[in-house]
C-alpha cells in the first residue's frame, strides 16, 4: 500500500507538470490562430496530462519499491 501511495502522489505531480508544460508549448507553437487557447487546454488535459500521470505513476512505483 505504501508503494501505491507514493506512485499515486508521483502520478498527480506528473499530471500537473505535463499538463502545464504542454499547455505552454502548444500555446506558443501552435499554428492554429482562431482557437489556440482551446486547443492548448483540451490537448493538455486530455492527452498530455494522462500520459504524464501514467509515466510518473510507473516511475513513482519503481522508485518507492527501491526506496523501502
Q: Which three cell numbers stand for residue 18?
A: 505535463
Q: Which three cell numbers stand for residue 41?
A: 487546454
Q: Which three cell numbers stand for residue 39?
A: 486547443
Cβ count near 39 (within 10 Å): 14
Distance CA 14, CA 41 (A): 16
Q: Which three cell numbers stand for residue 15?
A: 499530471
Q: pLDDT 10s per residue in the chain (68 long)?
A: 889 999 999 999 999 999 999 999 999 998 888 888 999 999 999 999 999 999 999 999 999 998 87
Amino acid at each position: 500500500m505504501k508503494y501505491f501511495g507514493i506512485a499515486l502522489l508521483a502520478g498527480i505531480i506528473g499530471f500537473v507538470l505535463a499538463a502545464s508544460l504542454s499547455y505552454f508549448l502548444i500555446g506558443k507553437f501552435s499554428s492554429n490562430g482562431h482557437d489556440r487557447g482551446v486547443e492548448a487546454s483540451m490537448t493538455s488535459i486530455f492527452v498530455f496530462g494522462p500520459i504524464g500521470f501514467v509515466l510518473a505513476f510507473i516511475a513513482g512505483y519503481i522508485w518507492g519499491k527501491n526506496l523501502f
